[in-house]
Amino acid sequence: MLRTELANKFGAPVCLFASGREALFAYLKAINLIPGEEVIVQGYTCVVVPNAIHAAGGSPVFADIARETLNLDPESVDKLINSRTRAVICQHTFGVPSDTAKLREICDRRKILLIEDCAHVLPDRNGPEEIGGYGDALMLSFGRDKAISGITGGAVIPRNPSFADSLGSLEKQAVDLSWWEVLKLLEYAPRMRMVRNLKWTGFDKPVLKILKSLNLISLVVTDEEKKGFQSPLLHKIPNVCAALACWSLGNLEKTNDHRRQITNFFLGHGLKHGWPVLKGIKPGLPLQKFPLFVHDAQGKRKSLKKHNVYLDDGWTGCVVCPETVDLPSTGYEWGDNPEAEKACGQILSLPTHPTMTMRQAEYLARQIDTLL
């Protein structure tokens, strides 16, 4: 059902895997990426992206970002392309559209592939029109905080028939996740709710540490992944997770409209009160998060904690996220992407998630006003 719905939505074949990172790895294997070949990604990204490239035998090359969009700077991309470059991955950071038209022109001119990472945002009938229509392949993730969620899961939607055949073969070879891994995924939300409910007692962190030590929590990014390792073994998406993702896809417009409402509120309030709003944020975008650049972002997060507002989201203080990543293992060298490096230290992201109410958004906006 999920495969059919996605195929109908995007008009192309769909291959499903247990995670977005596995889907990306499978696509890179399907295009026969060979050692020494390069894939351009942006600075300010998640570690699972360079990990998948390394696992497929390639080398990630980090291009700088355009500060006002948090996405690839096309000029930086163009300068990095050489005879070894096979593909460019653009990620539509937090739902802000990349300049896909310009990236498409560059990739066509240089005869390389454009991969759209749509984990943070998926278009509905109201847009964003820039997303999902330019890539040679679309990458989707169904993780817990993505545009649609199945707790876990991922998809690759190739537009080249020969790559689709290779991907289909790889999907057939994928193995099932163990029942224990599936159970941990399904139990993640109630266990984390229990931990959050202990926050006022001060026992939340000790309990979380115990759950992790007993392998009772399914981690978003594992310790091995933080060290640069991704297993080459592909897994099938569990049926229950595919069903959840399909349900979430059916509610995409409702979810996007809620995110649009929160985004429009933050945008209007921010412009009225002098917030440093990114120029790439336009009315009507269903942002996954509403990013601001501020002085002493970490200090402001600490101040907000005193008001029971927690904005540590794993995308702060690091050019390859999360902050606990072993940066050298990713292939990134500090100093390569100055705009990305400045952004990761200054960013303060406000939530727009489906359970957030307008009352909570208004309260958060008032707290931000006192800090800026």
The CATH code that applies to domain 251-371 is: 3.90.1150.10
Average pLDDT (22-49) is: 97
Task: Give the 3-state secondary structure of 21-53.
Answer: HHHHHHHHHHCCCCCCCEEEEECCEECHHHHHH
* Interval 203-229 mean pLDDT: 86
User: 328 φ, ψ to 5°?
Assistant: -60, -30
- Is the distance from CB of 103 to CB of 78 less than 8 angstroms? no
Name the residue ranges covered by the structural domains of the chain: 2-173, 179-233, 251-371
pLDDT in tens, 43-70: 999 999 999 999 999 999 999 999 999 9
Which percentage of the chain shows pLDDT scores above 90?
85
Average pLDDT over residues 312-325: 92
Q: Place 264 in a pLDDT band, splitting at 50, 70 and 90.
A: very high
Q: What is the DSSP string of 268-284?
A: HHHHHTT--B-TT--TT
**2-173: which CATH architecture?**
3-Layer(aba) Sandwich (3.40)
Q: pLDDT category, 273, cuts 50, 70, 90?
A: very high
Residue 204 has pLDDT above 90, yes or no: no
